[in-house]
Structure 1
Amino acid sequence: MELKTIKPKKLEVTRAENFPVATESKVVSLGTRVRNARQEQNLTLENASKLCGVSRSTLSKIENELMSPTFDVLQKIIAGLKIEFNSLFGPAPSQGHSGRRAVTKSGEGERYEQGKSYQFEVLANELAHKTMLPFKITVTARHLDDVGKWSRHEGEEFVYVLSGTLRMYTELYTPVDLEVGDSIYYDAKMGHAAISISEQDAVVLWVTTQRPSY
């Protein structure tokens, strides 16, 4: 039987330049977004500071980019002005294109601290109105007293341990210790808190889901 040589078909490579490129929106500063949220509600600095539980001078400095707020101060502003966390970062989604993406190089995320408990690095912070909020978090707390109280909010959360050992407390379950490569997924409306039980601080990928605002 005669064997025929089959020549491989030449693959056609579609070049990236053949595709339209979405134009990027200008990134608006966090301070400007806080000011816009306050002004949209016709609130003075004095009234907004009372609602947020943050001093007038602190709120003014944040709006004018004279200081970067700690994570707990940012949470107070979000609660007081009733705004979404992810709406404070990056441009609004482009109306002309359905696809979006964000690349965060190592160490280039927005950084915040929450007392002696956590150090946050906000990932994909160039995109606003995300349904997922990804963080790289260094857990510095060693005792529940360092955390202070349960965290609880809308949505669900996924935690993946990158280094160290994490002890995860959830309101309705016994604590669980998580090593590198371990993960946990839970309802964020259930009280939760985490501490590091390793010699070094635990570092985790922490993803929170949130309903889109558009």
Structure 2
Amino acid sequence: MKKTATRPSLRETAAAEIVPARFSADVAPAETSDDLGQRLKRVRIDKGWTLKEVSERTGVARSTLSKIENGQMSPTYDVLQKITRGVDLDIVELFDQRRQSAPFGRRSVTRRGEGKPHPTDTYDYEVLATDLSQKHILPFKARIRARSLDDFPGWVRHEGEEFLCVLSGTVRVFTEFYAPVTLEVGDSTYFDSKMGHAIVSLSKADAEVIWICTGISALS
């Protein structure tokens, strides 16, 4: 009896994809709002540093720092991490100055829509619990705008580890050393942030995820 050919599932198709070899560089910054850049500039001026000095401390190009300060670029998470580590700043200070620094008995509640927005070309972040500093994790929600690897100049990579869980839609998770995997609502993944990674939405509408990154205590 002749077997009927079956169409490969979405997961099988994802696993068969080959990641382009060009994905070996860090992701470049994208558009941002003025307030984040102004806060970075204020920190730099308060410390009496020039753009050149901050560039040497962080490893971020002086021209890039200038564009961020002037609201012409929106730094991705890995770039923000380099900057905050280099200038000895807690990353949440860039999003909210109402911070609780007490190390014991803390709690933070972020109501729907009250997180601090941080849009980029590929993801729209909503940073959560910004009133707490010296956290060991950075929690945020993200709307996945990217639809393919072509939307990224290269891999995203930074210190720490991360976890994400799909809230709506379907996403495909590309990582440097593994076959792509497709995640649907309720699915989750945990991976090493130093491994190149990129997330794209397979849905008609932007998929939404809850995202948690570690390694934040080193930034405070």
TM-score by length of 1: 0.69
- Matched to 1:151, the amino acid is V
When residues 112 and 170 of structure 1 are mapped into structure 2, their CA distance, relative to the original with a 3 A threshold, is same
1:174 alignment counterpart: 179
Q: Is 1:106 the equivalent of 2:118?
A: no
- Matched to 2:63, the amino acid is G
1:192 alignment counterpart: 197
- Matched to 2:176, the amino acid is E
Asked which structure has the greater CA Rg, the reply is 1
Correspondences of 1:129-140 after superposition (within 5 Å): 129-140=134-145
1:54 alignment counterpart: 64
1:131 and 1:210 in contact (8 A); partners too:
yes
2:82 alignment counterpart: 79
Q: What is the Cα-based RMSD across aligned positions, in Å?
A: 2.9
1:163 alignment counterpart: 168
1:92 and 1:129 in contact (8 A); partners too:
no
TM-score by length of 2: 0.68
Percent pairwise identity: 41
Q: Is 1:208 the equivalent of 2:194?
A: no
- Which stretches of structure 1, 4 residues or longer, exceed 6 Å deviation after superposition? none
2:22 alignment counterpart: none
Unaligned runs of 5+ in 1: 1-28, 62-66
2:166 and 2:187 in contact (8 A); partners too:
yes
Deviations 1:89-147 (A, max 9, x none): 4445445x6211111110111101111x1101001111122111011000011110112
When residues 190 and 76 of structure 1 are mapped into structure 2, their CA distance, relative to the original with a 3 A threshold, is closer
Correspondences of 1:38-49 after superposition (within 5 Å): 38-39=44-45, 41-44=47-50, 48=54
How far, CA to CA, are the matches of 1:207 and 1:35 in structure 2?
A: 27
